[in-house]
């Protein structure tokens, strides 16, 4: 009982200390790329993690399955294993297939990284806002795959184009294309609490379902360790899957 009380106390302190760090990193990382896209509040994120403790016999949540991430992003996006999402889609999330949505759901044009962040932000600055000042998603978003494997993205209210930008993955992420799924991960980050080192990294993936809709997955993996011999204290992966409805494929006329 003393061991259970001690580990419970350690985990509660560990989680509370880690919430602010990961929340700040997630908000900084996504808002800089997508003009306001955020992960869910970390209180819900941490609550969804499965924590294992040494000696308790519980199952441990594991990191996402490793993939063969390429060292050259320019070559990776040209792989025939990558999906081609060219087509016209609704401008907002149609359904949360798995997990819990954040306070602000990612618009369709926020799925891929923009090559020029300023151009993407200028386009999004023209989005309409409701009475409470919240952005109103474009009616539709179009993707057109370029010869280099990246995309041209354009958004519309009705038939009026709001703007467009090119996508491109930066050197800070690693890409994998396997069986029609493109995945990318950020470098592992670390911090240190009073109990020991902690590590976390995040990733995203895109694929098409049987209806041609985009399934966009975001996840974050976290692991905790004790200072003594770096013994693992627990780990967990938080994942959300969004569906964006396709209205027309690139081959439709």
> Where do the domains of the chain lie?
2-249
* pLDDT for 103: 82
Q: Are 184 and 198 in contact (CB under 8 A)?
A: no
* pLDDT for 246: 98
* pLDDT for 67: 56
SS3 category, 47:
helix
* pLDDT for 62: 46
Number of H helices, E strands in the chain: 4, 12
* pLDDT for 29: 40
Residues 6+ apart with CB under 8 A from 75: none
* pLDDT for 230: 67
* pLDDT for 253: 54
Query: Which positions of the chain have pLDDT values less than 70?
Result: 1-71, 195, 225-230, 253
Q: Are 117 and 124 in contact (CB under 8 A)?
A: no
Largest CA distance in the chain: 69
* pLDDT for 229: 66
- Distance in angstroms (rounded) separating the CA atoms of residues 74 and 210: 28
Put simply, whether the predicted model's pTM sits higher than 0.85 gets the answer no
In terms of Cα–Cα distance, which of 49, 173, 6, 33 is closest to 107? 33
């Amino acid at each position: 009982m003393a061991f259970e009380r001690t580990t419970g106390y350690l985990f509660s302190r560990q989680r509370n200390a880690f919430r602010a760090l990961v929340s700040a990193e997630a908000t900084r990382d996504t808002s800089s790329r997508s003009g306001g896209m955020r992960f869910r509040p970390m209180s819900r994120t941490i609550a969804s993690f499965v924590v294992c403790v040494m000696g308790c016999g519980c199952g441990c949540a594991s990191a996402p399955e490793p993939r063969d991430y390429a060292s050259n992003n320019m070559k990776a996006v040209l792989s025939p294993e990558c999906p081609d999402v060219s087509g016209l889609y609704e401008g907002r999330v149609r359904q949360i297939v798995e997990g819990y949505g954040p306070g602000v759901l990612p618009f369709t044009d926020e799925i891929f990284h923009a090559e020029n962040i300023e151009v993407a932000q200028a386009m999004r600055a023209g989005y309409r806002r409701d009475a409470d000042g919240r952005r109103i998603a474009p009616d539709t978003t179009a993707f057109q795959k370029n010869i280099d494997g990246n995309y041209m993205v354009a958004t519309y209210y009705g038939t009026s184009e709001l703007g467009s930008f090119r996508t491109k993955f930066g050197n800070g992420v690693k890409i994998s294309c396997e069986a029609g799924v493109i995945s990318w991960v950020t470098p592992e980050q670390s911090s240190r609490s009073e109990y020991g080192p902690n590590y976390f990294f995040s990733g995203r993936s895109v694929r098409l379902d049987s209806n041609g809709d985009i399934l966009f997955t975001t996840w974050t993996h976290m692991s905790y360790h004790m200072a003594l011999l770096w013994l693992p204290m627990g780990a967990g992966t938080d994942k959300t899957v969004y569906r964006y409805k396709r209205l027309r494929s690139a081959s439709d006329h």
